[in-house]
Amino acid sequence: MFKEILFLLSLGCYSEAANILYIIPYAEKSHYIMLRPIGLELAKRGHNVTVITSFKETDHPSGYHQIMVDDVGSDDKTAFGGNDGSRPNLFTTVDMSTETILWKFLWVGGLALTENYLKSKQVQEFLAKDNTFDMVISEQFAQEAFYILAHKYNAPLGLVSTFGNCMKHNIVTRNPLQMATVTFEWAEIPEPTTFVGRLKNLYYSLYEYAYWKYWFLYEQERLMTKYIPNIPQPVPSLFEMQKNASLLLMNGHFTFDPPTAYLPNIVEIGGAHLSHSKSQLPVDLKKILDEAPHGVVYVSLGSNVKSAELPIEKKNAFIKVFGSLKETVLWKWEDDDLGPIPKNIVTRKWMPQKDVLAHPNVKVFISHGGLIGTQEATYNGVPIIGIPITGDQYNNLLLAQNIGFGRILRYHDISEETLGNNLKEVLKDDSFKNKAIEIADRFKDRPMNALDTAMFWIEYVIRNKGANYMKNPAMDLSWVAANMLDVYTFVLFVVLIIIFVAIKVVLGLINMVGIGDNRVAQKRKRS
């Protein structure tokens, strides 16, 4: 006990409590699962944390204060394309183009959600108060209007991405793009390193960047001006706020994602929500998992993609294949009644997924390929059969398949035969499990765990007043100068002049030699 007291006292020598504003209002449960530990851990470490959020925490440190946005839960219509009054069956998005997904869900839906967050009663009451903060941290996902709060409170801005590599942030901050190996996060490119794959990657990256910079950010600024009072003048653009962010905590890691060169203020924290996890399985689920003699197949298509919305023929294919297994099947099924099912199938409307996947009896995870679930499977060494629906899911599953612990089953290809064959292969072939364990070991093999890494860099930025020296000095140069295009053009011009002059000299010499030969020939004729 005495040693613990000394340790706690020693922490005070190295850090001071800071006032931190943490903005994570996006009403998406999977996003919140990844983001929540950061705010809670900061409060546990003695910081005073104010959180703008859609999800209420009932058990939290005393320094954790919540500003609740109005009820816009993850099923709110605005999260799926704006105010058109409908929430689509997300299986219908399988055939949507990347451009349509970006426009309908990310941009139109993002603007509608941002406005809902900003005009929420508690948020408006909070914004009207005279607050001070040492750092503002915001999720980076279609809610850029909140970034201006870093300017309002004269504090450094930190961003947290629930996705992996963010191409537009790379472009803005002059981080190396590496488009030959780093795929745009929303594009489905089966062979990303081929010429066609790299061409598509360039197209989608520039398409998103152009719409984001020249339309979406202006619309976010309109909402910012409308709902956020007392912004100090002059007001920087949201593009400048993104550009000058002191820190980006990115939900990825080179042990799973393609190894990538990053500026020192872009830090990988993939798996942060798993680092200090102490939760336990409910008693009933623990009993089912413990007593499954042949192991467990765990099935979940995420927080938004609902198994219960599967077409009847695909639902029946799942049930028939699962019923033929000796393994117990634990299935996240959102309706009350699945109908008559085999005895080995157990359903729940919601599953504590990271705890289920941590159980040693889980043999395979049938997933939609969302990044949070993919990381949970990676962390726990569980092979994946993935059915990608939208967003970054295909890319996550393609990485797992290429590494060797996953298989992709396309939605339109689901049948008794294809599902049965994939399950048989992954369950029977030990190479999938062996590779999954190998990746799990290296995913966890770090100098310090992901959440502690996030804590270090957040506190580092606060201690060093924004740590502007970590930003790329090329941000002060034009895009042409930053990429040395003017120098390369000059060198090319000089080389072309040298070649031109050399050709002229050679042609001149040839001409002189030719004239000399003609004169000699003429003299011989006269003689």
Q: Is the CB of residue 142 less than 8 Å from the CB of residue 391? A: no
Instruction: Outline which parts of the chain fall under CATH 3.40.50.2000.
Output: 18-275+449-466, 283-444
What would the mean pLDDT of 325-341 be, rounded to a whole number? 90
Q: Is the CB of residue 43 less than 8 Å from the CB of residue 57? A: no
What would the mean pLDDT of 3-26 be, rounded to a whole number? 67
Better-scored residue on pLDDT, 153 or 519: 153
Query: pTM for the full model?
Result: 0.89
| Gap between the Cα atoms of 301 and 309, Å rounded | 11
Q: How many CB atoms lie within 10 A of CB 79?
A: 21
Q: Is the CB of residue 34 less than 8 Å from the CB of residue 162? A: yes
CATH 3.40.720.10 applies to domain 18-275+449-466 = no
Q: How many CB atoms lie within 10 A of CB 319?
A: 19
With 80 as the cut, is the pLDDT of residue 257 above it? yes
Paired with 362 in beta bridges are 296
pLDDT bucket at 440, cuts 50 / 70 / 90: very high
With 50 as the cut, is the pLDDT of residue 336 above it? yes
> What's the pLDDT score for residue 72?
54
> What's the pLDDT score for residue 71?
67
The 10s digit of each residue's pLDDT in 455-481 is: 999 999 999 999 999 999 988 888 889
Q: How far does CA 452 lie from the centroid of its chain?
A: 19
Strands of the sheet containing 48-53, edge to edge, are 64-68, 48-53, 19-24, 135-139, 157-161, 247-250, 266-268
Say which DSSP state 392 is in. T
| Gap between the Cα atoms of 52 and 508, Å rounded | 77
What would the mean pLDDT of 254-261 be, rounded to a whole number? 93
| Gap between the Cα atoms of 80 and 105, Å rounded | 5
The 10s digit of each residue's pLDDT in 494-503 is: 999 999 999 9
Q: DSSP secondary structure string, 120-155?
A: -HHHHHHHHS----SEEEEE-SS-GGGGHHHHHTT-
With 90 as the cut, is the pLDDT of residue 358 above it? yes
With 50 as the cut, is the pLDDT of residue 491 above it? yes
| Gap between the Cα atoms of 364 and 46, Å rounded | 40
* Extended beta strands in 253-398, E state: 266-268, 296-300, 328-332, 345-348, 362-367, 384-386
Q: Phi and psi at residue 334, in whole multiples of 5°?
A: -85, -15
> What's the pLDDT score for residue 520?
62
What would the mean pLDDT of 435-443 be, rounded to a whole number? 97
Q: Phi and psi at residue 239, in whole multiples of 5°?
A: -65, -45
| Gap between the Cα atoms of 45 and 198, Å rounded | 44
What would the mean pLDDT of 44-68 be, rounded to a whole number? 95
Percent of the chain having pLDDT more than 90?
74
pLDDT bucket at 8, cuts 50 / 70 / 90: very low
CA distances, 513 to each of 212, 421, 454, 507 (Å): 64, 78, 74, 10
| Gap between the Cα atoms of 103 and 81, Å rounded | 8
Percent of the chain having pLDDT more than 70?
91
> What's the pLDDT score for residue 74?
44
What would the mean pLDDT of 205-221 be, rounded to a whole number? 96
CATH topology of domain 283-444: Rossmann fold (3.40.50)
Say which DSSP state 80 is in. G
Return mean pLDDT, the chain. Answer: 90
> What's the pLDDT score for residue 79?
53
